[in-house]
Chain A
Amino acid sequence: MSSLSRDDVAKLAGLARIEMSEEELVNLSNEFTVILDAVARVQEVAGADVEPTSHPLPLRNVFRADVVVPSLTPEEALSGAPAQEEQRFRVPQILGEE
């Protein structure tokens, strides 16, 4: 039986960048016990000799020519920005790497 502990959910929420209340973590952990059981059924038939399909059509080599097309204006590009400054997107301080 597959399951996810409260801590597992917390770790996944961290990876997915979603803050979660204690209640949410516990609820999701309970739900996942049921859901994972249902979806784990895929393992029953997925033998080693079956090729995985990641795309429904057998397309290959779809390219565009290296041609410049007009960009958005900076006004358009920034039109949805929650905050902007000097024609740039303004974001809160970035912790970690540069």
Chain B
Amino acid sequence: MIRNSASEMAAKLAAGETTSVALTQAHLDRITAVDADIHAFLYVDTEGALAQAAAVDAKRAKGEKLSPLAGVPLALKDVMAQKGVPTTCGSKILEGWRPPYDSTVVANLKKNDVVILGKTNMDEFAMGSSTENSAYGPTHNPWDLTRIPGGSGGGSSAALAAFEAPLAIGTDTGGSIRQPAAVTGTVGVKPTYGGVSRFGLVAFSSSLDQAGPCARTVLDTALLHEAIAGHDPKDATSINAPVPQVVAAAKSGDVKGMKIGVVKELNGDGYQPGVRARFEESLELLAKAGAEIVEVSAPNFEYALAAYYLIAPSECSSNLARFDAMRYGLRVGDVDGASAESVMNLTREVGFGKEVKRRIILGTYALSSGYYDAYYGSAQKVRTLITQDFTKAFEKADVLVSPTCPTTAFKIGEKANDPLAMYLNDIATIPVNMAGIGGMSLPSGLADEDGLPVGFQIMSPVMKDERMYSVGAALEAALLSKWGAPLLDKAPVLGGAR
């Protein structure tokens, strides 16, 4: 049952073939069985999830009209505030904090009766590409436990790939939904910026952060997308327009006559051979399905990484200032005679990990007087140039595509001491966040050299999210008929049982 897609689970629930309590319990059992090895979850809300499941079952028994995903379980990235449930953002500084409020995403999930199993592991405050920066230890990739599951949302992607949950919520500031999806053989979507409310998403970089849906199929991702998206008056940057029709697009999967633009700059040197091979193969399948493949150029993308590593740290240096030991979270050094200032200093020393401190200091520098124009200001200009590149490219193509990341999953610890090498993981995902457009990663097969999943990235213009779902669904269908079975069937068996 747990290997079904979310939509299959939903169909069984609707047909009365199972109950949400049974389905939830099956996932809780799976978590018990395998999560010691995977460490996808930071907190499992057994009681809360079962209570929510029982409530959905009761509604269904009464014949109430329910949403398409009612009763299906989900794993929530620990960066989302959920009332009464520990929310740590993978950081020591928030250990034990239980928000007195729900994020809008959580409120929407509850409204749709999606059952929340618990909170998933992540790089501290979403800063990282491997989930190794979690203060609570790394998450392991279900394909190879010695490898990273991507990051920052490695807990969510690993939970999907390990069949601990059929749905998950991620957040994507520079690729934190798409890169974990790519390296675990799952699907992840970063919606258009402003398409999903950020209220209750603990901010890393406000102008880049976007919450989005993660699942094992394109359709499931679309169903979750529609459940969480929409205008939110509590988020001033939320778009006040109808949600793109992503479910319809995922169901039709029609790409006939669509122009698909291959971004020249996001494929080539530095991309692993197996990654490039799978990418080329996917392009052929899309062409066969009736799409026209064109090449586009985005000359300023080569500056995206540099601009990102100025903008995101700058915003985070300000966003993370609130973690100061005064109102919530960790407090260190509150001894007789200590000052508030020394307690702040000591708490932030102990409470933040190395990467977080590195970025706060970098951001503090980039914003400081005398350097603002050279760093933050220039980065904002690069952002304009990248957006212009996208605008021009979208004049030639309906969607743009690239490999999601240059490599497959690397070994835990392999890049831990080389921040620049780590940052390169996000080279193909970052431009999407800079321009606020939509991006999807879906599995395109395994790299020949290491047998690990490869991700295919589709990018769509602002509020045209449905386009990436059309293309994603078409490619998924073509690959599925080629493979004969879902890619995850090739993953090793965990915990001795399927």
Interfacial residues, chain A to chain B (CB-CB below 8 A): 4, 8-9, 12-13, 15-20, 24, 28, 31-32, 34-35, 38-47, 50-57, 59, 62, 64, 72, 76-77, 79-83, 89, 91-96
Closest to B362 in A: A35
Query: What secondary structure prevails in chain A residues at the interface with B?
Result: loop
Q: Which residue of B345, B375, B378, B419 is within 8 Å of A19 (Cβ)?
A: B345
Give the residues in chain A near B375, CB-CB below 8 Å: 39-40, 42
Interfacial residues, chain B to chain A (CB-CB below 8 A): 97-98, 100-101, 193-194, 207-208, 233, 236-237, 239, 300, 303, 305-307, 309-310, 317, 321, 324-331, 334, 337-346, 348-349, 352, 357-358, 360-362, 364-366, 368, 374-375, 377-385, 387, 419-420, 423, 434-436, 462
Verify A39–B309 contact, CB threshold 8 A: yes
Give the residues in chain A near B300, CB-CB below 8 Å: 45
Q: A16-B317, A18-B349, A34-B420 are in contact. Are A42 and B382 (CB under 8 A)?
A: yes
A56 and B391 CA atoms in complex are apart in Å by: 13
Closest to B377 in A: A52
Q: How many A-B residue pairs have CB under 8 A?
A: 178
Closest Cβ of chain B to A96, distance in Å, is: 8
A37 and B385 CA atoms in complex are apart in Å by: 21
Give the residues in chain B near A72, CB-CB below 8 Å: 100-101
Give the residues in chain B near A24, CB-CB below 8 Å: 357
Closest Cβ of chain B to A38, distance in Å, is: 6
A28 and B375 CA atoms in complex are apart in Å by: 18
Q: Which residue of A52, A56, A81 is within 8 Å of B328 (Cβ)?
A: A81
Q: Which residue of B208, B366, B368, B434 is within 8 Å of A15 (Cβ)?
A: B368
Q: A38-B306, A43-B374, A45-B382 are in contact. Are A17 and B345 (CB under 8 A)?
A: yes
Q: Which residue of B237, B307, B423 is within 8 Å of A57 (Cβ)?
A: B237
Q: Which residue of A13, A42, A59, A94 is within 8 Å of B361 (Cβ)?
A: A13
Verify A41–B419 contact, CB threshold 8 A: no
Closest to B304 in A: A42
